A and B are shown apart, each in its own frame.
Chain A
């Protein structure tokens, strides 16, 4: 069956511009996570949401990062006023249950380069 997909796979943005990254999760999965992965620093969670939340409950609140969930299995991570330090791979993951770390299924990631 279809897994988690992300688009675009690669994104180049000029510093200061806003970007939007899309994640299509697995149908029926409740929780969606966004991670930022950088070489040598591993992965950090940016935000997560449950399907019944209209607004994301950010695991790591940051004014420039926000996520929207227009449909149960779709999430869009928005980064405002990108900075060079935002260059990283952004991974989306979904899990079947609400709350609690559990098996997460990851998308292939979007590699963002901010110039």
Chain B
């Protein structure tokens, strides 16, 4: 079983829709979690950190549930420019584990 697992998608949603991604992790020692966004043939870029108390940044909300060992990302009022692959990342110490990514296509 992979340490960080995501539904690869793709998620095809119309503009304006709300879409949610979940990510599960198996290593309870993981301390920190992030969501990265990666556009096609580009490098990953940090989207937001994930805290147990939740983290909201504009249309994006991230949440961490340590008891169930999952991380979520909610995108409200999705835009065409949100189309990308969203990578769930977790780790502790020097160990950083990326999920395989969830692809999102937002259509007009």
Instruction: Show the binding face of A for B, using Cβ within 8 Å.
Output: 31, 33, 35, 40-45, 48, 57, 59, 91, 99-104, 106-109
Contacts and interface: CB of A to CB of B under 8 A. Distances in A.
B45 A33 contact: no
A1 to B, nearest CB: 16
A106 B87 CA distance: 13
Interface bin, chain B = 20 to 34
Interface string B90-106: 11111111111100000
Nearest to A48: B94
The 10 closest A-B pairs by CB, nearest first: A42-B100, A106-B43, A101-B91, A43-B98, A101-B96, A101-B32, A42-B98, A103-B46, A106-B44, A108-B43
A101 B89 contact: yes
A48 B96 CA distance: 10
B87 to A, nearest CB: 7
Contacts of B43: 91, 106-109
Contacts of A99: 93-94
Contact of B92 (A35, A40, A101, A104): A101
Nearest to B30: A101
Interface string B3-23: 000001000000000000000
A100 to B, nearest CB: 7
B42 interface: yes
Given A100-B31, A101-B32, A33 B44 contact: no
B86 to A, nearest CB: 12
A110 B31 CA distance: 30
Contacts of B97: 44-45
Given A42-B87, A42-B101, A101-B34, A91 B44 contact: yes
